[in-house]
Amino acid sequence: MAAKDVPLKDYRNIGIIAHIDAGKTTTTEGILYRTGINHKIGLVKGDDPAGATTDWMAQEKERGITITSAAVTAFWKGHKINIIDTPGHIDFTAEVERSLRVLDGAVTVFDGKMGVEAQTETVWRQANKYGVPRICFINKINQIGGDFWKSLESIHKRLSKQAFPIHIPIGFEKDINGVVDLIDMKAYTYSDYADKELIPGEIPADMLERAKNARSLLVENAVEADDELMMKFLDEGEDAITTEELKSALRKRVLAGDFFLVTGGDGRGVIVEKVLDLVADYLPSPLDIEAAQGVNPKTGNVEERKSDSSEPLAALAFKIATDPFVGKLIFIRVYSGVLKAGSYVLNTTSGEKERVGRIVRMHADKREEISEVTAGDIAAVVGLKDTFTGATLADPAHPIQLEGIEFQDPPVSIAVEPKSKADQEKMGIALQRLAEEDPTFRVRTDDETGQTIMSGMGELHLDILIDRMKREFNVEANIGEPQVAFREAIRGMSEAQGKHAKQSGGRGQFGDVWIRFEPTETGEGFEFADEIKGGVVPQEYRKAVEKGIKDTLEGGVIAGYPMIGVKATLYDGSYHDVDSSELAFNLAGVLAVKAGIPQARPVILEPVMKVEVSTPEDFMGDIIGDLNSRRGRIDAMDDIPGGAKLVRAFVPLANLFGYTNDIRSMSQGRAASTMEIAQYEEVPPNVAQEIIEKRTAK
């Protein structure tokens, strides 16, 4: 079926999201195989030289993990499905963030042996943030330790009570051979997971009671979507609800974003057809989501763009990739209008006009050239020079600025230097390209040492970037020790005068301000408040005061780390008719920071990670002892299937470098850990002193 033959109501833009190793990529492979895109299922690990379709980077094939979100398009029962397979590793969480920003729905994959894991919670929160409706697929329940019902229990306990099976598995572990569909109350079975199709039949007698109870629960919760249906259910009972009414009510509930249908099976197998049916029947089309909202940069007014090809163009760039054959690829989601190859568009983020060279539909790393991309669709564009992640592309005659995508500041840094003169120039180009692609990767030059500093989301993130620099750009580099991104903050309030007065013959310089410093409510960012009454500090100088304060806080006051969570209020001051200037008031702001912040109980903050360790019980004592020795605090200990234990703890990032290898050694390779940044916390006084001494020694 050609893409243009599919009506917009049958488009599905979905992401496959989950914890690392839950089986996202394998499930995507199963979908591509079942929809006829692939002739076989590529393996994520093992002896398959081709590997999985969406894990096409060399680093992905070697490590058996997804690093970059890949886009593929498939067709199922008259529906066009744009699928983005996202990474599960926390270091690449920005890939999930930017994918969810542009997707309409998602399939959350769970490892049936583990239930809800650390990263499952993270991607779930990200999906909540963007209001993305989801269905749940409990994978690997056919493996030893796989348990659909225990995994469902963990979803209820850690994610949402509003998750209900729409299919229940037939059999247990290796004997699983299908599902009971609670909509039509039929069994759908297979003799081998690789069968061509599911065979409908009667529900096994020993499952009938459980299936009836599960269906009653599903119907009872579905009818809440519609008052009339609820009355019909209460007056006439469950049997009065038709299949069409039930499906329609369930779809309404799923689209609301707080109700989740659950199925389970083997992501490689024929059961994936049931997942595809759920995607087609219950996840939203572009017409089901709210109209995109943005600001008209000319008027400042909020405007809407409906998902309609006749509306003016509005598209969001959500990902940049460097393709060895065509150069820079910009992945875009078109919210309204039509984007045509060869046309000119306005980048409302930069204010520049750009020409669209070619448009390609992506199939992971393969490309199919198309002439245009219409409202509701996802494609990649070649030829845009100054468009980066989060930029809006709009019709020049009807400009609009859509909401961008925000990313966390990277917490880990390393120094990098080229091995030879020849590598120096190449390294600059490589770092620039990689930073364009990845908004959580930052590069800067250390003013004191002149070193190039790379910052990323974790050790693996930086390791992959250095590996890419070597393979894709042929750059050999020496790497320094990982460094933690400490921050500074204040815990108290202070008031201080900043007065800059200089007379050296001729016109002098005069700026005088009184500033109140206090912590912000959120403990993040920088706030500037203006409480000037009358004209003691003229309006035209107040921006200069704010800039002087903000720039000085960037350099900290204790150990030179950026200061966060500070509110500065300008409440008094004075000026001179002749000698005052923006520069003088900028310097007055600088002096106020230097006088006031030391009196506001400044402290050093460090990133603290939420760590989850799954381990056989034999190694529990060693694992906990080791976490305590790293200044960790144990948050919880839970049982997980297979007689293993799950330890949750909060540990300072500074003490976690090399932890993955350490934990393997400690547990004979049987324990595994995941971590994600939780928050910034104040470091103990003795540690703060060590940090200050190290900084001053530099």
| pLDDT 10s digits, 242-259 | 999 999 999 999 999 999
What is the arithmetic mean of pLDDT over 210-238? 90
* CA 188 – CA 269 distance, rounded (Å): 13
Measured distance between the N- and C-terminal CA atoms of the chain, rounded to whole angstroms: 64
**In this predicted structure, what is the pLDDT of residue 49?**
38
* CA 359 – CA 362 distance, rounded (Å): 10
Exposure b/e, 190-212, CB count within 10 A at least 16 = b: beebeeeebeeeebeeebeeebe
Q: Which residues contact 323 (CB under 8 A, 6 or more apart)?
A: 329, 365, 367
pTM of the model: 0.70
State the pairing for strand pair 105-111/134-139.
parallel
* Angle, CA 95 vertex, CA 130 and CA 152 arms, to 5°: 60
- Phi, psi of 476, rounded to the nearest 5 degrees: -95, 130
**In this predicted structure, what is the pLDDT of residue 464?**
81
**In this predicted structure, what is the pLDDT of residue 35?**
80
What is the arithmetic mean of pLDDT over 433-460? 78
Please state which of the ranges 207-211, 468-472, 474-478, 535-539 shows the lowest mean pLDDT.
468-472
**In this predicted structure, what is the pLDDT of residue 53?**
40
**In this predicted structure, what is the pLDDT of residue 504?**
66
| Domains annotated on the chain, with CATH | 3-203+257-282 (3.40.50.300), 292-402 (2.40.30.10), 412-483 (3.30.70.870), 492-600 (3.30.230.10), 606-697 (3.30.70.240)
| pLDDT 10s digits, 341-376 | 989 999 998 888 999 988 888 664 467 788 899 999
Q: At what angle do helices 272-282 and 24-34 cross, to 10 degrees?
A: 90
| pLDDT 10s digits, 275-292 | 999 999 999 999 998 888
The residue among 455 and 37 whose pLDDT is bigger is 455
Please state which of the ranges 21-25, 316-320, 465-469, 656-660 shows the lowest mean pLDDT.
21-25
**In this predicted structure, what is the pLDDT of residue 152?**
94
| pLDDT 10s digits, 39-66 | 444 444 443 434 444 333 444 334 333 3
**In this predicted structure, what is the pLDDT of residue 612?**
85
What is the arithmetic mean of pLDDT over 573-584? 90
**In this predicted structure, what is the pLDDT of residue 344?**
92
Element (H, E) at 643: none
pLDDT tier at 204 (50, 70, 90 boundaries)? Answer: very high
What is the arithmetic mean of pLDDT over 410-430? 84
**In this predicted structure, what is the pLDDT of residue 62?**
41
**In this predicted structure, what is the pLDDT of residue 70?**
56
* CA 561 – CA 582 distance, rounded (Å): 26
What is the arithmetic mean of pLDDT over 577-598? 93
**In this predicted structure, what is the pLDDT of residue 698?**
60
How high is the mean pLDDT of the chain? 84
pLDDT tier at 263 (50, 70, 90 boundaries)? Answer: very high
How many C-beta atoms lie closer than 10 Å to residue 452's C-beta?
20
Asked whether the predicted pLDDT for residue 661 surpasses 50, the reply is: yes
**In this predicted structure, what is the pLDDT of residue 56?**
33
State the pairing for strand pair 566-574/526-530.
parallel
| pLDDT 10s digits, 458-497 | 777 788 888 888 888 888 888 887 888 899 999 999 999 9
Asked whether the predicted pLDDT for residue 91 surpasses 50, the reply is: no
Asked whether the predicted pLDDT for residue 451 surpasses 60, the reply is: yes
Asked whether the predicted pLDDT for residue 442 surpasses 60, the reply is: yes
